[in-house]
Amino acid sequence: MLASRRGELEALTHLDPAAVPLLAPVLEVGAVDRTTMDSLRRLPAGLLPAVDVTALPDSPDTELARWDVPLVPVVGLAESDRRLVAHGAAARGYARGALVRLRAGQDRAGPDASTAAVERIWRFTGLAPEECDLLVDAGDVCCRADVRLAEPRVRRLLDWARRHAWRSITVAAGGMPPTLSRLPTDEPVRLDRWDWQLWQRLADAGFNYGDYGVGPAVPGSGDPSERLPTVRYTADGDWWVYRWSRRGGRGDDRFADLCRTLVSASHWPSAGAAFSWGDHELLRRARRGAGAGSAANWAAWSTSHHLAHVLSALLHPGSDAGAGRHGRSEPQRVRPLRQVRGGESRRAG
């Protein structure tokens, strides 16, 4: 689940072809403009994004069938009748299906009301339950207490979801803080991946995995234009945040120093630049082979590494996938996902 910004979209364009069928990106669109359309058209062949325009006005410009781009509409429980009809047209035009997004923290009306809400969606979109994927969005989990509260709530929603013939069920959460401005600079800072811990506690339920990449789940939060060189580097069970403000020298030198610190760390994958496109670009900067880039570049490289790391961890559970020099590391080229209960693949959404 990614913001439709240049950096995150750039990471998707550099996916290894073998990873494309294993990913189902959900893009949260904040504006309809030429840049957004061009970015969607540049995605790799076979990568069908789900597009969420819930934050945008209900108008002809946000009718996804008019965009002339292959996509899956994301449908919320509280959509207007008019938008549901428009989403149905988009679903039939490209994918013959839709993604229903149930927000665990907001859509808490109980099983009967939830059933009535999804039956309304099916009626106005003209879709059958078997043509719809369900996304249970646990939202922001930023501490151990959040994980403890979210687990039983999500399990109740999964019990309800099994009453219906969904095409697939995915649970997603986000654990990145809304802002990094209070973190120390000029040293790697470790942050717990609380969303990953929630997934591990729920994995026995047998559903697909989703997260918010290296961005926060809190709507409207985060800083899309980081002023300090910043890399959010995913590891096993944690993130390592690098924010460099060392004075003196050029900006390129500062970022090179950041990257040299990263590639010498124990969580740098043993596969190095072969692990992902993002890791390749970070290693180039460590060797002063290119400039520092921009906030969009930093987001792109961080997201690229994150996608590779998560896919590897899902494909090889318990094998320390993505581990650094003191563990094994898997490159981004991956094999088909193994099957889990119900015949669904453990797919990253």
Q: What residues contact residue 342 under an 8 Å CB cut-off, 6+ apart?
A: 206
Q: Are strands 208-211 and 189-192 parallel, antiparallel or unpaired?
A: unpaired
> Average pLDDT for residues 312-326, to the nearest whole number?
68
In whole angstroms, give the CA distance from residue 345 to residue 315: 10
Confirm if 243 and 230 have CB atoms less than 8 A apart: yes
- pLDDT score for 331: 36
**Per-residue pLDDT tens over the stretch 8-39:** 999 999 999 999 999 999 999 988 888 888 88
State how far the Cα of 224 lies from the Cα of 227, in Å rounded to an integer: 9
Q: For 290-314, what is each residue's pLDDT tens digit?
A: 888 999 999 999 999 999 999 999 9
pTM for the full predicted model: 0.89
Whole-angstrom Cα distance, residue 60 to residue 67?
10
Q: Is 167 exposed, middle or buried (0-12, 13-18, 19+ CB in 10 A)?
A: middle
Give me the CATH code for the 2-343 domain, please.
Answer: 3.20.20
Residue 121: which residues within 8 A CB-CB, separation 6 or more?
Answer: 75, 77, 79, 84, 98, 100, 127, 132
Contact by Cβ (8 Å): 268, 305: no
* pLDDT of res. 334: 31
**Rounded mean pLDDT, 203-218:** 92
> For position 33, what pLDDT does the model report?
84
The residues, any chain, with a CB within 8 Å of residue 48's CB and separated by 6 or more, are 24, 70, 71, 72, 94, 95
